[in-house]
C-alpha cells in the first residue's frame, strides 16, 4: 500500500452519465465520441483511450460532494462499462511521468499548494501530504487543465 489513495470517478456517477447521457448536477448533454485520436485518460479506469474507442465527454464538478463553490469542467469516461481504478494501487503507469498540475487543498477548499510536474509525481504527492493542513490533492492535466483524479491520504487503521 502506498502513502496515498488514488480516487477515480465513482461508478455511480459514471453509470448515471452512461444511462442518461447527461452531466450530473448540470443536466448538460454528454457527448458521445466514436472517432478520435488516441489520448486522454478515462476518469474511471484511469487508462488512456485508444483511437476510436467510444467515450463520453461531459461536465463534472471536481469538488462534487466535498466543497463549494463548484468547479465544473470537461472530462471523459468510457462509453461502455470499465473497471474503476483501485484506490489502494500506486499511481497508474500512464501518469507516473506525465506532465500534470497538482493542487493541494485544505479544509474549506482552501488551496494550500500548487505544483506543476513533468515526472516524480509520487514524490510531489508525498511532499504535499507532508503538510498537515493538506486534506486532498487534485491532479489536473498540464495541457488542458481538466480534472484527472483526486489523491487522498490513506484510510487510517481503526
Domains for the chain: give ranges and CATH numbers.
Answer: 9-78 (3.30.1740), 93-152 (no CATH)
Please tell me the distance from the alpha carbon of residue 28 to that of residue 102, in angstroms, as a whole number: 27
The reply to whether the predicted model has a pTM over 0.85 is yes
Work out the pLDDT band at 156, boundaries 50, 70, 90.
Answer: low
Question: pLDDT tens for residues 85-132?
Answer: 998 888 888 888 889 999 999 998 999 999 999 888 989 999 999 999
Report, as an integer, the average pLDDT of 31-55. 94
Work out the angle at residue 145's Cα, subtended by the Cα atoms of residues 81 and 125, and round it to the nearest 5 degrees.
Answer: 85
Query: CA dist 135 to 60, 66, 113, 149, Å?
Result: 21, 11, 11, 14
| DSSP 8-state symbol, 155 | P
Q: Provide the phi-psi class of 19: left if phi over 0, else alpha when psi is between -120 and 50, else beta.
A: alpha
Q: Provide the phi-psi class of 39: left if phi over 0, else alpha when psi is between -120 and 50, else beta.
A: left
Phi, psi (deg, nearest 5) at residue 41: -95, 150
Amino acid at each position: 500500500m502506498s502513502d496515498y489513495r488514488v480516487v477515480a470517478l465513482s461508478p455511480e456517477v459514471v453509470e448515471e452519465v452512461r444511462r442518461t447521457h447527461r452531466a450530473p448536477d448540470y443536466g448538460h448533454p454528454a457527448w458521445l465520441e466514436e472517432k478520435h485520436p488516441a489520448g486522454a485518460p478515462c476518469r474511471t479506469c484511469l487508462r488512456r483511450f485508444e483511437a476510436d474507442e467510444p467515450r463520453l465527454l461531459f461536465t463534472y464538478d471536481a469538488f462534487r460532494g466535498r466543497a463549494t463553490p463548484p468547479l465544473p469542467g470537461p472530462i471523459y469516461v468510457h462509453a461502455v462499462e470499465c473497471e474503476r481504478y483501485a484506490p489502494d494501487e500506486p499511481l497508474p503507469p500512464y501518469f507516473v511521468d506525465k506532465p500534470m498540475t497538482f493542487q493541494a487543498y485544505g479544509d474549506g477548499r482552501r488551496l494550500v499548494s500548487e505544483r506543476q510536474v513533468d515526472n516524480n509525481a509520487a514524490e510531489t504527492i508525498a511532499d504535499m501530504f507532508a503538510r498537515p493542513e493538506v486534506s486532498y490533492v487534485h491532479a489536473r492535466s498540464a495541457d488542458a487543465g481538466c480534472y484527472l483524479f483526486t489523491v487522498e491520504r490513506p484510510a487510517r487503521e481503526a
